[in-house]
Structure 1
Amino acid sequence: MRKGQTSVLKRVIVDYKKLDKNMLNLLVEKFPDGYDDDDIVTYRNANNEVVECVEVRTEDTAYLVKVSKRLVMAMEDFDDSDNDDSEDSDLDTDELEASEEE
């Protein structure tokens, strides 16, 4: 990087369905006890709908992960499976969607 240049983070908006094991791990590390209202970033999308997200950063990217009941469940399930030393790297979104419909 040349003198005078600043590092610009790539910004990515991600739905919980697209989260991989590494991203879930970052979320659980940043919010071990869950997130609260102060952690939520709110913006309006192209359809003028309010979208709520939590931010997680890596060295080169700032991720905004869309907040939903499913995200909370995914983080809890990941944290539980991580404690069990599970080798499962895929998030079972079908189970989460079915439980939200109930």
Structure 2
Amino acid sequence: MKRIIVDYHKLTSDILNLLVEKYPDGYAYNDIISFQNSSGETISAVEVRTQDTIYLVKISRKLEKTMDEFMEDENSFDDDNDFN
């Protein structure tokens, strides 16, 4: 299974949809995973999964705002980012 760390700026509409489905009321403290990246920085993220990939989405204020906006109008999300 692939593990991918995703920053707010690289969210796709598919990943954002997974986030909104898993955390419709937002995520709680116990949903947050903290780990150190290769640079030794502590990263906080929430996890969503597909059949073959685990996405760790970095937490930020912009992530919360984006999730809220996506829930309000899914068609307005700009999905210019694609990665695998």
Interval of TM-score (by shorter of Structure 1 and Structure 2): 0.7 to 0.9
**Segments ≥4 residues shifted beyond 6 Å:** none
Aligned to 2:46: 54
TM norm structure 2: 0.87
Q: Which amino acid aligns with 1:31?
A: Y
Shift, 1:46, TM fit: 2.2
| 1:68-96 C-alpha deviation (Å, 9 max, x unpaired) | 111000100100113xxxx33406xxxxx
Task: Compute the RMSD of aligned alpha carbons.
Answer: 1.2
Aligned residues: 79
Percent identity of paired positions between Structure 1 and Structure 2: 49
Aligned to 2:56: 64
Quick one: distance in 1 between partners of 2:70 and 2:39? 32
1:75 aligns with 2:67: yes
Tell me which of the two structures has the higher relative contact order, counting C-alpha pairs closer than 8 angstroms and 6 or more residues apart: 2
Q: Which of 64, 73, 90 is residue 78 of structure 2 equivalent to?
A: 90
Quick one: distance in 1 between partners of 2:33 and 2:23? 14
Question: Which of 1 and 2 has greater Rg?
Answer: 1
Unaligned runs of 5+ in 2: 80-84
Q: Taking structure 1 as reference, are residues 71 and 89 closer, same or farther at Cα in structure 2, changes over 3 Å only?
A: closer
